[in-house]
Structure 1
Amino acid sequence: MPGGQYQVPSTMLHHSLYSLTDSSEAGPEDDELDAPLRPTPLQKLTQDMCKDEKTIKELIIGRRVGFYKVRGEIGYGTFSRVKMAFHALTRDKVALKVLDKTRLDIQAQRLLSREISSMEGLQHPNVVRLYEVVDTPCRLYLVVEYAGGGDLHTRICNDGKLSDNDSKITFAQILFAIKYLHNNNIIHRDLKAENVLFTSSACVKVADFGFSTRVSNRNDALDTFCGSPPYAAPELFRDECYMGPPVDVWAMGVLLFFMVTGTMPFRAETMGKLRHCIMEGAYTVPPWVPGPCQRLIKGILKTAPAERYAVDQMLGCDWLLPVEFPWLLEAPDPQSPLRLLDSESGELEDEEEEVRASLEELGFTMEHIRNNQPKDSRNPVTGVCRILLHRAQKRRGCDTVPVVRGMVRDPKREGLRAYRGLRHTSKFCVLS
């Protein structure tokens, strides 16, 4: 179903909504029924979008975008505004990233295309999901997962540094999100506290893929300076090619420092001085930061990319050992679509069976799905399928927050305690 299905005048709307009409729903046998069948939620909504004056007015003034009822603004960026909305059929809350196409230059259009390409099909508990793309003549709407718990930057600015346990839980989720992206050859390139969101249940969601890029393999060289300068790796200031994964790793080191101290590791009055601090790796970790966390920060914030910790090294560090995830860390293949048409094969996963049952309750038939394959983001069936799938996965615990179990002792501090104890014992023996 083309993106223009949400435009008025109503003649255009009528024409484009035909693809959501199941030809099997009408036939000669309908005349034989004594009473008309009650319309399904989908039929009622599509009829309202074509004939109901109030609904058509809401579409014209922007209070509705396709199947989404738009509410207040919740954020903004250089080229976009973000509004809260909810799906008129499923009632799920979503975030609408609204872009004015008339203001997008060639570079901005290229970045937008990369953002959609990167997010397409990503399916991980700690990555914001793209549900649907609604394309109109003047605006483009990215319908994404709604995270209602605010962002990491605001939380630390308002409440101060995170506790050691909260830092572990938050950082571990960011780390697994980046591992998942890198395993799928996506480099984020704009990882910062403002782009780390929380759900109402404190689950972390890495967001904003506007500067992301997809590479053929993780060793591909990149040459574009991206992201926020305080989070930028030293190699980005050298005006030369760089590897993508170490750039994201460096940004994670800055994030970790910010979480556990409430301050940024690299601070300066001018961009030139900031650049110098970052290239020299000039920062100081406060002594009260736990030893295992200090060693992790120092292993990440190394100026030479080849000496920087890799993601798997970070996963195995002492500081994160007590973090336990209640769900499997291996996320599904992002390229695998819903297999909703495999009705005879009996191979559907539980979540897919639940999605298909919910679609039938809403009024979507197999013909709707055949006509609007749930692979392309630019049709409303895809949006409904992805929202329902995510809902089913959340019910099975995919957005459950990890926990910290037990206590892992710092071996260096334990060694120091043992040494001090030995000295004390020796001194006692001499005095006695």
Structure 2
Amino acid sequence: MHYNNSLSMTQSSEQTALAPGYRLAEYTIVRQLSHGGFSVVYLALDDKDQKFAIKEYLPRQLACRDENGDVTVRHELDRDAFNLGLKCFFEEGRVLAEIEHPNVVRVTNFFRANQTVYMVMEYAEGRSLGRELELAGGRLEERRLRNCFAALLAGLREVHLHRLLHLDIKPANIYLRRGGAPLLLDFGAARQTLLRGNERFAAMYTPGYAAPEQYDREQPLGPWTDIYAVGACLYSCMGGGTPQAANLRRQEDRLVPASTLFRYDYSPELIALVDECLSLTPDARPASLMVVQKRLMATPFSAPEERPAPETGNRLVCWLKGLTGRSS
């Protein structure tokens, strides 16, 4: 089947996604998979009909697409910011292409086209951890959580060894292959660079999963930043929902600790780990990803605290006494 590079006539010149059938290097766009403030991800086929996910650098607040498909900067004053993000995005693709790990998305190619950069990644069948959590009723059992995150951290450690941070770990960016193996997706280093350099992007953090230092331009980012996000993901997967945003916690910390919320459902060891990871101060978090991973892999672990039996017997006695009193 022949495809041409014309954009859909129903889309405006500022549309964000390339149309299905668009020919991009040796790939053909099938459909849009997702979009955010900084990029668009497509499902594409190569000339051998192999599936790939292609991520396009397109920061909406800085750029738009013209009628020819080129990505253009909206205002000349934003060109430096756009180029900085472009450089970081390209560098991110270069580093990820060097990483071969079963728990990190594989980048197979990256190239320039349409005045922007594209990152070609493996396409894995499965679903996000966020979706898995919904199907499981909002919480996952402890052994499964430990196995999933221990494997995920093996991949994240490899990423850190290549001097790259993820900076956007959340259930939506953790993908579960059909066999259940976790895969780390959608790195945010380029996005983070723009966020810390431009006030307009402050709202682009993922509230609840972003560490406190990601809101503060004066504080350095490091492995401890990803450790906070891992703790937030664990908290969410234990049934706590999305944690209170870190910047709001700094003002008034209303996050119910895992040690309070999950004491009857999960082991004391896992609960303590989650609370440490979610510390507002980086120094109070676990010292490294290896430490977190070892604690997740530690076996055997203790049983959850025993839930107190309801005082039904006492209430029944009082109720019977009340009946006796009324009948006499």
TM-score, normalization by structure 1? 0.53
Amino acid corresponding to residue 121 of structure 2 in structure 1: V
Q: Which of 163, 182, 187 is matched with 1:209 structurally?
A: 187
The change in CA–CA distance for 1:202 and 1:86 in structure 2 (over 3 A counts) is farther
Q: How does 1:229-240 map to 2 (within 5 A)?
A: 229-240=207-218
Q: Does 2:219 align with 1:241?
A: yes
CA distance in 1, matches of 2:36, 2:212: 26
CA distance in 2, matches of 1:116, 1:173: 27
Q: Which of 163, 167, 173 is matched with 1:189 structurally?
A: 167
Deviation digits for residues 275-328 of structure 1, max 9, x if unmatched?
Answer: 524xx48432222222221021122122221221021211221x4235xxxxxx
Task: Say which SS state the counterpart of residue 126 (structure 2) adopts.
Answer: coil
Q: Which of 20, 43, 47 is matched with 1:84 structurally?
A: 43
Using the TM superposition, give the Cα deviation of residue 213 of structure 1 relative to its aligned residue in structure 2, in angstroms: 9.0
Q: How does 1:22-61 map to 2 (within 5 A)?
A: 55=2, 57-60=3-6
Q: Does 2:53 align with 1:95?
A: yes
The change in CA–CA distance for 1:139 and 1:302 in structure 2 (over 3 A counts) is closer
Give the structure 1 partner of residue 150 of structure 2.
172
Amino acid corresponding to residue 209 of structure 1 in structure 2: F
| 8 Å Cα contact 1:235-1:242 kept in structure 2 | yes
**Higher RCO (C-alpha 8 Å, min separation 6):** 1
- Aligned-residue sequence identity (percent) comes to 24
Using the TM superposition, give the Cα deviation of residue 156 of structure 1 relative to its aligned residue in structure 2, in angstroms: 2.0
CA distance in 2, matches of 1:150, 1:254: 20
CA distance in 1, matches of 2:206, 2:127: 19
| 8 Å Cα contact 1:87-1:94 kept in structure 2 | yes
Give the structure 2 partner of residue 110 of structure 1.
84
Using the TM superposition, give the Cα deviation of residue 123 of structure 1 relative to its aligned residue in structure 2, in angstroms: 2.0
Task: Say which SS state the counterpart of residue 125 (structure 1) adopts.
Answer: coil
Give the structure 1 partner of residue 61 of structure 2.
none
Using the TM superposition, give the Cα deviation of residue 412 of structure 1 relative to its aligned residue in structure 2, in angstroms: 9.2
| 8 Å Cα contact 1:189-1:212 kept in structure 2 | no
Task: Say which SS state the counterpart of residue 127 (structure 2) adopts.
Answer: coil
Amino acid corresponding to residue 27 of structure 2 in structure 1: Y
Q: Does 2:99 align with 1:122?
A: yes
Q: Which of 289, 307, 311 is matched with 2:266 structurally?
A: 289
| 8 Å Cα contact 2:167-2:192 kept in structure 1 | no
Task: Say which SS state the counterpart of residue 72 (structure 2) adopts.
Answer: helix
Give the structure 1 partner of residue 25 of structure 2.
66
Deviation digits for residues 153-203 of structure 1, max 9, x if unmatched?
Answer: 233234422222321222112211221111121122222222212223322
Using the TM superposition, give the Cα deviation of residue 248 of structure 1 relative to its aligned residue in structure 2, in angstroms: 0.9
Quick check: which one's helix share is greater? 1
Q: How does 1:231-270 map to 2 (within 5 A)?
A: 231-266=209-244
Give the structure 1 partner of residue 34 of structure 2.
75
CA distance in 2, matches of 1:58, 1:234: 47
| 8 Å Cα contact 1:257-1:297 kept in structure 2 | yes
Give the structure 2 partner of residue 157 of structure 1.
134
Query: Gapped runs of 5+ residues in structure 2?
Result: 8-20, 59-64, 66-70, 307-328
Deviation digits for residues 94-122 of structure 1, max 9, x if unmatched?
Answer: 01223452257432442232133123222
Using the TM superposition, give the Cα deviation of residue 75 of structure 1 relative to its aligned residue in structure 2, in angstroms: 1.3
Deviation digits for residues 357-400 of structure 1, max 9, x if unmatched?
Answer: xxxxxxxxxxxxxxxxxxxxxxxxxxxxxxxxxxxxxxxxxxxx
CA distance in 2, matches of 1:314, 1:272: 24
TM-score, normalization by structure 2? 0.68
| 8 Å Cα contact 2:35-2:41 kept in structure 1 | yes
Give the structure 1 partner of residue 319 of structure 2.
none
Q: Which is greater in Rg? A: 1
Task: Say which SS state the counterpart of residue 177 (structure 1) adopts.
Answer: helix
The change in CA–CA distance for 1:135 and 1:249 in structure 2 (over 3 A counts) is same
CA distance in 1, matches of 2:238, 2:301: 18
The change in CA–CA distance for 1:119 and 1:272 in structure 2 (over 3 A counts) is closer
CA distance in 1, matches of 2:39, 2:177: 21
Using the TM superposition, give the Cα deviation of residue 255 of structure 1 relative to its aligned residue in structure 2, in angstroms: 0.8
Q: Does 2:259 align with 1:301?
A: no
Q: Which of 113, 121, 128 is matched with 1:144 structurally?
A: 121
CA distance in 1, matches of 2:112, 2:100: 22
The change in CA–CA distance for 1:282 and 1:210 in structure 2 (over 3 A counts) is closer
CA distance in 1, matches of 2:304, 2:148: 25
In the alignment of these two chains, the number of paired residues is: 262
The change in CA–CA distance for 1:283 and 1:94 in structure 2 (over 3 A counts) is same
Q: CA RMSD in A?
A: 3.2
CA distance in 1, matches of 2:40, 2:125: 16
